[in-house]
Amino acid sequence: MRNVDVLLHRDFVIGTTDPRLFGAFVEHLGRCVYGGIFEPDHPTADKNGFRQDVLALVRELAPTIMRYPGGNFVSGYNWEDGVGPVAGRPRRLDLAWMSTETNAFGTNEFIDWCRAAAIEPMLAVNLGTRDADAARNLVEYCNHPGGTALSDLRREHGWARPHDVKFWCLGNEMDGPWQMEAKTPEEYGRIAVEAAKMMKWIDPTIELAACGSSGRRMPTFGRWEDAVLEHTFDHVEFISLHTYLNNYAGDTAAFIASCDLMDNFIDEVVAIADTVAARRRSDKRIMLSFDEWNVWYRTRRGRDARVKPGWPVAPPILEEIYNMEDALAFGGACISLLNHADRVKAACLAQLVNVIAPIMTETGGPAWRQTIFHPFAHFSNFGRGRVLRAVIDSPTYTASYLDPNGPQDLYFRLPAVPYLKLAAVHDEEAGLLTLFALNRSLTEDMPLQVRIEGFSRLEVAQSLQLCDADLKAVNTKEAPDRIAPRPLTAVRASGNRLDATLSPASWTVIRMAVSA
Ligand code: AHR
């Protein structure tokens, strides 16, 4: 491959990453809660039933904010079922995942888990089967200090201090026919604005995300955002986006190009949000919450992978096993999010444990890192700071990507996919510049030359690469580190130039000590 050139300048900045860009998601789904973060009989469980082996991996993964309790689950959830003495909590049929929900774990337990993990909670309210009244009651229960029936109920339940939850999602994927009480944009816009008003009257410090489309492929995409924001514009800070990348077509080159569609999706939602602002002559800017993103396809199609018969408790569903090429597509998604740091101010990897997750567990047994764990840990641990605008001169290839999950199958043509996808983040405080790079050539080394202007000193501090000759290789309980980052030696800084050779089909992180 010919040289790939990149130009960076210290002062050419896209935006600063919001800490909430590095979030993840815990849903009452399969073994995410039960057997994932919460397993009272596990040998490592603490007095709250929290698995400490999982918590240790979560700390290493470093998510900053955690969305809960769904997902599709939230659209049928009565939050009241999950608070108060556990023995008195009802068992319910969960129609999202055809499971039995025991309610042994609920909002207060989730808040405790977040505190133990040093993660900010993000709560979603049910705007499917419930209404604005249930939503405002949950805010009062969680955030009001005391002296009212609901806040005193929380105190009586053992949580004297308010939970002070700042980030709230107004329902989930309300455009999707699979959702309990799915809505038209008008119906959803109306209920969302009424919920938003009351929630903020109770606690004006909270921030709200309205549901955007559950995918770019949805037939209502565009019209949905426009109509929903027409209703909610003055009362919300965020609109949400969801994307799951897939390799249904068995076309690896197209799969690892598909993360570029996230860039398009983000640009389009920004344009729609700003159009709504323009119609109102408003300088308010609605930010984006990419509150579900990941690779997900093996356990998506086929009823048996999504639900099990007999209304089981915490069945093993959606337990996607990630391979090396999944980690590449996933790393590309991390780069897309970083390169939109100006408008994507929150994002959640869906999900955290067992269910389409970076962490896998065996019930009663060990926990280990899936392949996608590594790019996320790099993204979160090293992605804090100012994202520099990279000018990239790379050869390209053509791909066609199939997105078949919605009511219609869509092919997206990607006419000029640069082999290099890259983001650069400058952490001023630490004096570090980090490059996140994806070499999308499946066969060729990439000779990379980066000219970095505006810094007086440049020294390679650390360089890591994730790659494997077998793109289908996975991590397992027996071989948990089959796919893990290894040091990259083919990297050198001199003057204002960095030279590196990136292996074919690789994810690379290069950290440089820099001074202004
Ligand atoms: O993350 C799995 C599911 O995907 C969520 O419950 C839903 O919101 C989305 O369709």
Establish whether residue 82 lines the binding site of ligand 1, counting it when its CB lies within 6 angstroms of any ligand atom: no
pLDDT of 404 reads 78
Establish whether residue 172 lines the binding site of ligand 1, counting it when its CB lies within 6 angstroms of any ligand atom: yes
pLDDT of 405 reads 62
Residue nearest to atom 1 of ligand 1 (CA): 350
pLDDT of 302 reads 80
Establish whether residue 72 lines the binding site of ligand 1, counting it when its CB lies within 6 angstroms of any ligand atom: yes
Residue 131, classed as helix, strand or coil, is coil
Pocket probe for ligand 1: among 32, 73, 242, 291, the residue whose CB has the most ligand atoms within 8 Å is 242
Residue nearest to atom 8 of ligand 1 (CA): 71
Residue nearest to atom 9 of ligand 1 (CA): 71
Going by their DSSP bridges, the two strands 497-502 and 446-453 should be labelled as antiparallel
pLDDT of 133 reads 98
Establish whether residue 350 lines the binding site of ligand 1, counting it when its CB lies within 6 angstroms of any ligand atom: yes
Instruction: Tell the residue number behind the tokens 């029936």, with chain if given.
Output: 149
Pocket probe for ligand 1: among 26, 72, 296, 300, the residue whose CB has the most ligand atoms within 8 Å is 72
**381: CA distance to ligand 1 center in Å?**
26
Alpha-carbon gap, residue 268 to 458, rounded angstroms: 37
Residue nearest to atom 5 of ligand 1 (CA): 71
Residue 123 has pLDDT above 80, yes or no: yes
* Letter string b/e over residues 403-417, b meaning 16 or more CB atoms within 10 A of that residue's CB: bebbeeeeebebeeb
The model's confidence at residue 184, banded by pLDDT at 50, 70 and 90, is: very high
Candidates 357, 484, 452, 400; CA nearest to 71 is: 357
Averaged pLDDT, 313-327? 98
Alpha-carbon gap, residue 467 to 233, rounded angstroms: 44
Helix residue ranges, H only, 243-308: 252-257, 260-279, 303-306
The model's confidence at residue 409, banded by pLDDT at 50, 70 and 90, is: confident
Alpha-carbon gap, residue 323 to 331, rounded angstroms: 13
Establish whether residue 194 lines the binding site of ligand 1, counting it when its CB lies within 6 angstroms of any ligand atom: no
Residue 438 has pLDDT above 80, yes or no: yes
**71: CA distance to ligand 1 center in Å?**
5
pLDDT of 397 reads 97
Residue 305 has pLDDT above 90, yes or no: no
Averaged pLDDT, 95-104? 98
**In sequence order, which residues have a C-beta less than 8 Å from that of residue 156 and are 6 or more positions away?**
none
Which range among 53-57, 222-226, 400-404 shows the weakest confidence by mean pLDDT?
400-404
Catalytic residue list contains 173:
yes
The model's confidence at residue 412, banded by pLDDT at 50, 70 and 90, is: confident
Instruction: Tell the residue number behind the tokens 């514009």, with chain if given.
Output: 233
% residues pLDDT > 70 (the chain): 99
Catalytic residue among 173, 225, 237, 325: 173
pLDDT of 411 reads 82
Residue nearest to atom 2 of ligand 1 (CA): 71
Q: What is the pTM of this model?
A: 0.97
Residue nearest to atom 6 of ligand 1 (CA): 71
Residue nearest to atom 7 of ligand 1 (CA): 71
Establish whether residue 385 lines the binding site of ligand 1, counting it when its CB lies within 6 angstroms of any ligand atom: no
pLDDT tens sequence across 380-394: 999 999 999 999 999
pLDDT of 402 reads 86
Residue 290 has pLDDT above 90, yes or no: yes
The model's confidence at residue 406, banded by pLDDT at 50, 70 and 90, is: low
Read out DSSP for 141-199?
Answer: HHH--SSSHHHHHHHHTT--S-----EEEE-S-TT-TTSTT---HHHHHHHHHHHHHHH
Establish whether residue 232 lines the binding site of ligand 1, counting it when its CB lies within 6 angstroms of any ligand atom: no
Residue 239 has pLDDT above 70, yes or no: yes
pLDDT of 410 reads 78
User: Which residues are bridge partners to 208 per DSSP?
Assistant: 168
Candidates 276, 266, 169, 295; CA nearest to 233 is: 276
Establish whether residue 225 lines the binding site of ligand 1, counting it when its CB lies within 6 angstroms of any ligand atom: no
Nearest atom in ligand 1 to 178's CA: 10
Nearest atom in ligand 1 to 96's CA: 6
pLDDT tens sequence across 482-503: 999 999 999 999 999 999 999 9
pLDDT of 1 reads 81
Catalytic residue among 109, 140, 292, 320: 292
